[in-house]
A and B are shown apart, each in its own frame.
Chain A
């Protein structure tokens, strides 16, 4: 797998979001700059017009300006924003140095609009000629004008500033929604067990994805065919092998009944032991292929305790031969809705394993508990246990824990796993004695749908 960062870079959702967001931000930026500049210039022109109109008013109405000056500062709350109307000193310069003049201006300013530096301030002035030697100037500080223009221009940016983040969020959500069927499909595929090769549903999927899903479904059906062919082959082969083995076993039995030396007798006994083991292996193989098929047996409530009893009756001789103290430690019975033969096979394999791997004089405990999440069946032994690193491997067919010379078929836990897979149960391995790291405890949880799936009865 790629690193999380790489996976993110590969994600269609991420790429789409990133590109659309970048594009959107770029367009918004350009539009914002354009709108700012336009609004700024527009506001400046408007103020120029105002100055021009004030000048025109003075001109037309013959206001008694004389050599006096007027400031409109009384009307303005901010003295900075005042509009100054004053006479220009005439060319001879007689009225030029009046202390009442707010602005020191030279007489040779041309008519019209201009920007002039006066006493460290930049002013925007409109100069007009009233009579031959009477010239007026209407002025305003450019700093104030620019501030007004900037405010206006910034206000024109407000929609962008507010709407773009909202648009980005909506887009992200929209893309996520669009890609939801894909994510659902992925998690559906991810959550499947290896046995589940059923077809994927195409409902609710976009048409672009459907051919892909159809291809996966076709692949599934081909895989299922080949898997079932393989299973059928194993089942047929084991079945076919049983007949010659039975014949062999009968021959060996007849051989054992004849007179022979004790050495030959020992050899025949070993031979018969070998044949018995081969038959057990074939039986286990058949059981494994049977439980790997989808369930066909009718499920009905099965008393776990009855199953315990039957398994213990069958396996008690082996346990007694090794002086193993075997027993049931739970107080109550519980029922599981299942084909009885499956539960029987499962418990038998667990107890059989426990007896095999528990040293003589050991102890094996069986228990069943009805809990909120389902019925829990446990088989604990006092054997060597299985190290955590081995636990995932022992469910593989023919996997052996190293350093173990017990004669098992190597299929017991595979059969258990196949049964639990088939009936939506889970199986977990642990140490019986966690502190000492010894003993195997197998916990099988049959998830029932609430309390209806099982019943408890007092023993």
Chain B
């Protein structure tokens, strides 16, 4: 039945952007409504931009988002984005959530590795 589930997941993934109230991936879970993120059930406090960036990546775990796409997502939260803002936020997110929470693909962008 794992096959069937995988296929259903693939359909959902292809549709894309279906943000449920709770996004889970491995040890991470992200509550969209409460704007709360927890690792292994322990809540981790995140800033507005950090949450926005992680949210963008968590919508489709495994999907690569480029710098400009991540910047676009963060405009929604008001402020102007500086040139190295994305790196800075990723850096602080990694510090809070663990180094392997966000992976980088050189020259392409960032992704939250999909948990098995």
Taking beta carbons and an 8 Å cutoff, which residues of A are in contact with B?
Answer: 246, 249-250, 253, 308-309, 312-313, 316-317, 320, 325-330, 365, 459
Instruction: Decide: B107 and A320 in contact? CB cutoff 8 A.
Output: no
The stretch that binds A, out of B43-51, B72-80, B88-96, B108-116, is B108-116
| Shortest Cβ distance from A253 into B: residue | B2
Instruction: Decide: B107 and A309 in contact? CB cutoff 8 A.
Output: no
The 6 closest A-B pairs by CB, nearest first: A327-B106, A328-B107, A327-B107, A328-B108, A313-B64, A309-B64
CB distance from A459 to the nearest CB of B (A): 8
Interface presence of B105 (CB below 8 A): yes
Instruction: Decide: A316 and B3 in contact? CB cutoff 8 A.
Output: no
Instruction: Decide: B106 and A320 in contact? CB cutoff 8 A.
Output: no
Instruction: Decide: A317 and B62 in contact? CB cutoff 8 A.
Output: yes
| Shortest Cβ distance from A331 into B: residue | B107
Docked Cα-Cα span, A250 to B7, in Å, equals 14
Among B66, B107, B113, which residue has its beta carbon within 8 angstroms of that of A316?
Answer: B113
> Would A312 and B3 be within 8 Å (CB), given that A317-B113, A317-B114 are in contact?
no
CB distance from B67 to the nearest CB of A (A): 9
> Would A312 and B108 be within 8 Å (CB), given that A250-B3, A253-B2 are in contact?
yes
| Shortest Cβ distance from B104 into A: residue | A327
Interface presence of B28 (CB below 8 A): no
Instruction: Decide: B107 and A330 in contact? CB cutoff 8 A.
Output: yes
CB distance from B13 to the nearest CB of A (A): 10
- Beyond the given pairs A250-B3, A309-B109, A313-B62, 5 more chain A to chain B contacts, judged by CB atoms under 8 angstroms and listed by A's residue number, are A253-B2, A312-B64, A316-B64, A317-B62, A365-B106
> Would A308 and B108 be within 8 Å (CB), given that A313-B63, A316-B62, A316-B113 are in contact?
yes
Docked Cα-Cα span, A249 to B111, in Å, equals 31
Q: Which size class do B's interface residues fall under?
A: 10 to 19
Chain B contacts for A309, CB-based, 8 A: 64, 108-109
Instruction: Decide: B107 and A329 in contact? CB cutoff 8 A.
Output: yes
| Shortest Cβ distance from B113 into A: residue | A320
CB distance from A55 to the nearest CB of B (A): 113
CB distance from A366 to the nearest CB of B (A): 8
Instruction: Decide: A249 and B106 in contact? CB cutoff 8 A.
Output: no
Docked Cα-Cα span, A320 to B103, in Å, equals 9
Chain B contacts for A250, CB-based, 8 A: 3
| Shortest Cβ distance from A309 into B: residue | B64
| Shortest Cβ distance from A363 into B: residue | B106
CB distance from A185 to the nearest CB of B (A): 49
Name 25 A/B residue pairs within 8 A (Cβ), A-sorted: A246-B3, A250-B3, A253-B1, A253-B2, A253-B3, A309-B108, A312-B108, A313-B111, A316-B62, A316-B105, A316-B113, A317-B113, A317-B116, A320-B113, A325-B106, A326-B105, A326-B106, A327-B107, A327-B108, A328-B105, A328-B107, A328-B108, A329-B107, A365-B106, A459-B66
Chain B contacts for A253, CB-based, 8 A: 1-3
Chain A contacts for B105, CB-based, 8 A: 312, 316, 326-328
> Would A329 and B106 be within 8 Å (CB), given that A250-B3, A253-B3 are in contact?
yes
CB distance from A256 to the nearest CB of B (A): 9
Chain A contacts for B62, CB-based, 8 A: 313, 316-317
| Shortest Cβ distance from B116 into A: residue | A317
Chain B contacts for A320, CB-based, 8 A: 103, 113
CB distance from B4 to the nearest CB of A (A): 9
Chain B contacts for A325, CB-based, 8 A: 106
Docked Cα-Cα span, A330 to B106, in Å, equals 10
Chain B contacts for A328, CB-based, 8 A: 105-108
Chain B contacts for A246, CB-based, 8 A: 3
CB distance from B107 to the nearest CB of A (A): 4
Chain A contacts for B108, CB-based, 8 A: 308-309, 312, 327-328
